[in-house]
A and B are shown apart, each in its own frame.
Chain A
Amino acid sequence: MVGKYLDEFYYRAAEGQEETSFHFAAASQGPPNIQHLRDVVWERAQGEATLLRAPLRGEVAQHWRVEWRAVYGSRRMNPFRPTVLPAADWLLLLAAAGIPLSLLWDYSWESTVGIDLPWSPPHTANYLAVTLAGAVGLGQIMKTSRDGVRLGRWRAPLGAWVVVWGALAFVAAFLFDRWWQASYGLAAGIWHPPQLLKAVAFFALEAGAWLAGLQRAEEAVRAPRVAWSAGGLARVASGVLLALIFTVTLAVNFPNRQHGAAFFQIACATYPIVLVAVAMSGRSRFSATAAAFVGMLMVCVMVWLLPLVPGAPLVSPIYHPRDRLLPPPFPPLLFAPALALDALLRVFPKRAAREPGWVQAIEAGLAFFAVFLAVQWPFAKFLLSPGADHRFFAGGGKQWPFFLRIAPSAETAFWKMPGDEFTLSSALIAAGLAVLAARLGLWLGARMRR
């Protein structure tokens, strides 16, 4: 569609004219996107639009006529003012980012202070983030909408449904977890069912935010007035998802475990799902790289900020006395494999145009595995060296939870844990997992692009 027609359309819609019609001359651009026009009419004039697909008499070029009727009267808006993202989107993004950040804070709190009460500051921040996300999602569902996924009598964007589902799952996980911790404590081990459910809830909340961001990005393309930030929303949300993966797999992310099989296998089974889907569905040619930078930055912010906060262990045994909150491990260098994925899937458009399939999955999976291994292997060595014993990298084998009993020689060594040796077979498993993850990412990305 030609821009000036759209502008006028926006203007008239915003005027809230109750019974009117508008003609689009669509000689070379094809029919107008009625879905989008209906959105605009709905948002600007609370009206309903109908597309009448009839060429007007006497016209040579094909014309399209849209009629709409304002239901609730006009809502004056200046159609020429650049549209900003609705507050709900920003709040959802804030909530989504709050989840991994509060979890990293919680890890730091438990590893520094030790007393882990239900209403500790990081826990409270976590509940607030989940509540905020759930409230935004619920608000979107309650807001009468013509489009989106319909469940019962409500229609809402898919992202909103997934976010609300995640919030409900969190409530169940919270209740279950309180009981579990009072009953089993840690005597039964970690990764217990309520914790798994909590992780599922967090991923649902993040995925919902990502879906919401993608939808905004789509709208941004169709409506030039929606600010650039809509496109960034999906990128940031996917970066948040990467940070969440890092957070829930923190146990293997210590530099001392980064020459082990578990680290590479878990990384290969998880990160490519997000990175490949982002590369496939993002508007920019470097969406995956941008998402990787966002994810890394989120963890880095906690690496840099947490040690500024005073905190000391309040419970015995204290094997590593501290007076500042413990930083989490430095994040893996995801931007490198993300760049490779962007190059493979987006920078060469011919390839990207192909229908995604197993060949592409194998290429993408192996590219992720090879680049990640090549970059992270030496970087892990660096993280354990005295050169990384710095606020920036928080490495050098100096940052430990206060309760962890560890031999001094093991602090700067790669841990040889039984079954965790990085051998040819474990490397092949990691590569295979990366291919599977990439295939899933391709499938997701293709669906998201639609």
Chain B
Amino acid sequence: MKSLAVLFCLLALSARAHVGSPNVFFEGHAGPHAVRVVIRPPATVPGIAQVDVRAGVTGVTLQAAPWETGDNAAAEPVRAMPVAGEAGLFHAPLWLLARGSYRVRVSVESERGGGVVSVPLLSAAIQRPTMPPALGALLAILGAALFVSAVAIAGAAAPTHRRNATAIATLLLTGAVAAGAWRWRTMDREFSTHGLSRPLPVEASVRTAGSLHLLRLSQPADSTEPAWDSLVTDHGKLMHLFLCREPDARTFAHLHPVRRDGATFENVLPALPAGSYQLYAEITYENGLSQTLVSRVAVPEALATSPPMAAWKMANEVWCQTPAIPLGNAAQPVALDADDSWHSAEPAPSPAARALVCPLADGSHMVFLNAGDLVADRETSLRFAVFTAAGRRAALQTYMGMAGHAVVRRADGAVFTHLHPGGTISMAAQQMLAEREGPLIVPLATSTDEVTFPYAFPRAGEYRVWMQVRLDGRVQTGVFEVTVRPEP
């Protein structure tokens, strides 16, 4: 009985930096070896994560340990077994005992030498429980049989007071069933509120200050989540915020709000079409915990003047002087972040949206090289290339330290995730791991004219993919509508 073992609750942090896309993908280097790691976390904790490692090596070991304790409390590594018929693919189940931030250390060995890389992982309950109808029916039958037989045994055991015994047994059993049902409901509610990891709702509002629309995100007053004063930067930003205009997400923005205090972020809104927007924000805490925040906000008509882009990255900081406000702290953000970007296909849908080729604002074109080959739950690399107007491969510049950023959203909003060439993991969390655990982990070098993202679409359906690159100093966004086929 598990209750006997887990007498005391362990660390109970929970969250994930995505919506509906729990699998972890990582591409990087372990020593001289290129490795790709795919982790399929369990639906709940304790549970078993299934880990696949692809690398041209002779042996792989895996070790999972909570972020906080690291090596001090880590169990012995587990040896991953080669998968028959798949050269270079290794598999191992990893038991996750506690909830919270974990690091999975992947050690590889070959004749060329060994290498180690650590992948951050959030151990959490991620699925709302549903009972299969067949099991439900079986349990109902068993329950009814137990109820009836218990009453019958009670009656038969007291033949002289059969009626009384039957009545008392019926009452007691009904009470027990009611108490059990109440307990289940209470625990389910507790699970949904505190146990289940899911995107955290936050409050969002837009206010007008002078010639600017300001978007404000704040923690609800009754929030029990950790305050936002212990965040770390991911690609140099404390928060990555994505806006998708409802209902069809034809307008998309990728912004980087600045923190005003422990419970508030603010950002200047670019000139977006008015309407209702879904918001997804990503943050990473000092303990490696990543969270996705969600909200919805009504954006008013754009003002006459477009907001300025900040020439200086710290222009918006609370504690900084800015060219706009030379003395004292910035009372509010005064400009868009230099890395903010947005894309609108309003009012008409982009004719190229469904095609494999998307024209970019500067006349060049972006190609989704394997858009026609997407199958649910099949591990793949999303491959993109950019061509100049003249038809040559365009040279990509780094955009927030990466060759590109991709955002994937299912048409119904049930899946939303932010990808990097290094995978789905929080780069901030991984950098912290790297600083603590030894050699810096560098994402696989991507050729400057093609960007790849390791990923597997979690479900079949219609998806929209935004792919952002920097060309000639400007961020360009390519938009693709793709169909992900169900698993055959």
Of residues 1 to 34 in B, which have CB atoms within 8 Å of A's CB atoms?
A: 1-8, 10, 14
- Of B149-157, B231-239, B271-279, the stretch lying at the interface with chain A is B149-157
Contact of A115 with B by CB under 8 A: yes
- Of A161-169, A259-267, A437-445, the stretch lying at the interface with chain B is A161-169
Across the two chains, which residue of chain A brings its CB closest to B179? A196
Contact of A420 with B by CB under 8 A: no
Set B1, B142, B153: member contacting A161, Cβ < 8 A: B153
Across the two chains, which residue of chain B brings its CB closest to A103? B1
When the two chains form their complex, are residues A185 and B64 in contact, meaning their CB atoms are under 8 A apart?
no
Contact of A371 with B by CB under 8 A: no
When the two chains form their complex, are residues B187 and A188 in contact, meaning their CB atoms are under 8 A apart?
yes
When the two chains form their complex, are residues A168 and B145 in contact, meaning their CB atoms are under 8 A apart?
yes
Name the B residues within 8 Å of A169 (CB-CB).
Answer: 146
Contact of B188 with A by CB under 8 A: yes
- Of A20-28, A43-51, A399-407, the stretch lying at the interface with chain B is A399-407
Contact of B262 with A by CB under 8 A: no
Whether A158 touches B153, Cβ cut-off 8 Å, given contacts A111-B5, A172-B143, is yes
Whether A181 touches B153, Cβ cut-off 8 Å, given contacts A172-B143, A193-B184, A318-B74, is no
Contact of B97 with A by CB under 8 A: yes
Q: How far is the CB of B138 from chain A (nearest CB, A)?
A: 7
Bitwise interface map of B from 87 to 107 toward A, beta carbon under 8 Å scored 1, else 0:
000000001111100000000
Whether A187 touches B73, Cβ cut-off 8 Å, given contacts A114-B95, A172-B142, A317-B65, is no
Contact of B69 with A by CB under 8 A: yes
A319 to B97, CA, bound (A): 13
Contact of A150 with B by CB under 8 A: yes
When the two chains form their complex, are residues A165 and B97 in contact, meaning their CB atoms are under 8 A apart?
no
A312 to B75, CA, bound (A): 9
Across the two chains, which residue of chain B brings its CB closest to A148? B156
Q: How far is the CB of A258 from chain B (nearest CB, A)?
A: 14
Whether A179 touches B135, Cβ cut-off 8 Å, given contacts A116-B2, A190-B2, is yes
B74, B145, B153, B196 interface centre (most CB from chain A within 10 Å): B153
Across the two chains, which residue of chain A brings its CB closest to B129? A183
Whether A250 touches B156, Cβ cut-off 8 Å, given contacts A172-B139, A185-B45, A192-B187, is no
Set A158, A187, A199: member contacting B157, Cβ < 8 A: A158
Contact of B43 with A by CB under 8 A: yes
Q: Is the interface of B mostly helix, strand, loop or mixed?
A: mixed
Name the A residues within 8 Å of B10 (CB-CB).
Answer: 317, 403, 405
A247 to B1, CA, bound (A): 10
Across the two chains, which residue of chain B brings its CB closest to A150? B156
Contact of B209 with A by CB under 8 A: no
A251 to B47, CA, bound (A): 22
Name the B residues within 8 Å of A422 (CB-CB).
Answer: none
When the two chains form their complex, are residues B139 and A187 in contact, meaning their CB atoms are under 8 A apart?
no
Q: How far is the CB of B1 from chain A (nearest CB, A)?
A: 6
Q: How far is the CB of A195 from chain B (nearest CB, A)?
A: 6
Contact of A34 with B by CB under 8 A: no
When the two chains form their complex, are residues B142 and A179 in contact, meaning their CB atoms are under 8 A apart?
no
Q: How far is the CB of B119 from chain A (nearest CB, A)?
A: 15
Contact of A191 with B by CB under 8 A: yes
Of residues 170 to 185 in B, which have CB atoms within 8 Å of A's CB atoms?
A: 176, 180-181, 183-184
Of residues 148 to 176 in A, which have CB atoms within 8 Å of B's CB atoms?
A: 149-151, 158, 161-162, 165, 168-169, 171-172, 175-176
Name the A residues within 8 Å of B229 (CB-CB).
Answer: none
Name the B residues within 8 Å of A316 (CB-CB).
Answer: 63-66, 69, 73-75, 97
Name the B residues within 8 Å of A180 (CB-CB).
Answer: 129
Set B4, B135, B176: member contacting A107, Cβ < 8 A: B4
When the two chains form their complex, are residues A184 and B44 in contact, meaning their CB atoms are under 8 A apart?
yes
When the two chains form their complex, are residues A188 and B4 in contact, meaning their CB atoms are under 8 A apart?
no
Contact of B333 with A by CB under 8 A: no
Q: How far is the CB of A46 from chain B (nearest CB, A)?
A: 25
B2, B64, B124, B145 interface centre (most CB from chain A within 10 Å): B2
When the two chains form their complex, are residues B183 and A193 in contact, meaning their CB atoms are under 8 A apart?
yes
Contact of B131 with A by CB under 8 A: yes
Name the A residues within 8 Å of B96 (CB-CB).
Answer: 315
A150 to B158, CA, bound (A): 11
A149 to B69, CA, bound (A): 59
Contact of A186 with B by CB under 8 A: yes
Q: How far is the CB of A112 from chain B (nearest CB, A)?
A: 10
When the two chains form their complex, are residues B1 and A182 in contact, meaning their CB atoms are under 8 A apart?
no
Whether A181 touches B2, Cβ cut-off 8 Å, given contacts A175-B138, A315-B75, A316-B75, is yes
Set B3, B145, B152, B196: member contacting A187, Cβ < 8 A: B196
Name the A residues within 8 Å of B135 (CB-CB).
Answer: 175, 179
Set A115, A250, A314, A319: member contacting B4, Cβ < 8 A: A250
Across the two chains, which residue of chain A brings its CB closest to B146? A169
Name the B residues within 8 Å of A198 (CB-CB).
Answer: 1
When the two chains form their complex, are residues A195 and B3 in contact, meaning their CB atoms are under 8 A apart?
yes
Q: 7 interchain pairs (CB within 8 A)?
A: A169-B146, A187-B44, A195-B1, A196-B180, A198-B1, A317-B69, A317-B97
Given A151-B153, A197-B180, A316-B64, 18 further pairs, Cβ under 8 A: A107-B5, A114-B95, A116-B46, A176-B139, A183-B44, A184-B129, A184-B187, A188-B191, A193-B181, A199-B1, A200-B176, A315-B95, A315-B97, A316-B73, A317-B65, A317-B73, A318-B73, A319-B73
Please give the residue numbers on chain A whose beta carbons come within 8 Å of chain B beta carbons, in ascending order. Answer: 103, 106-107, 110-111, 114-116, 149-151, 158, 161-162, 165, 168-169, 171-172, 175-176, 179-193, 195-200, 247-248, 250-251, 254, 312-319, 401, 403-405
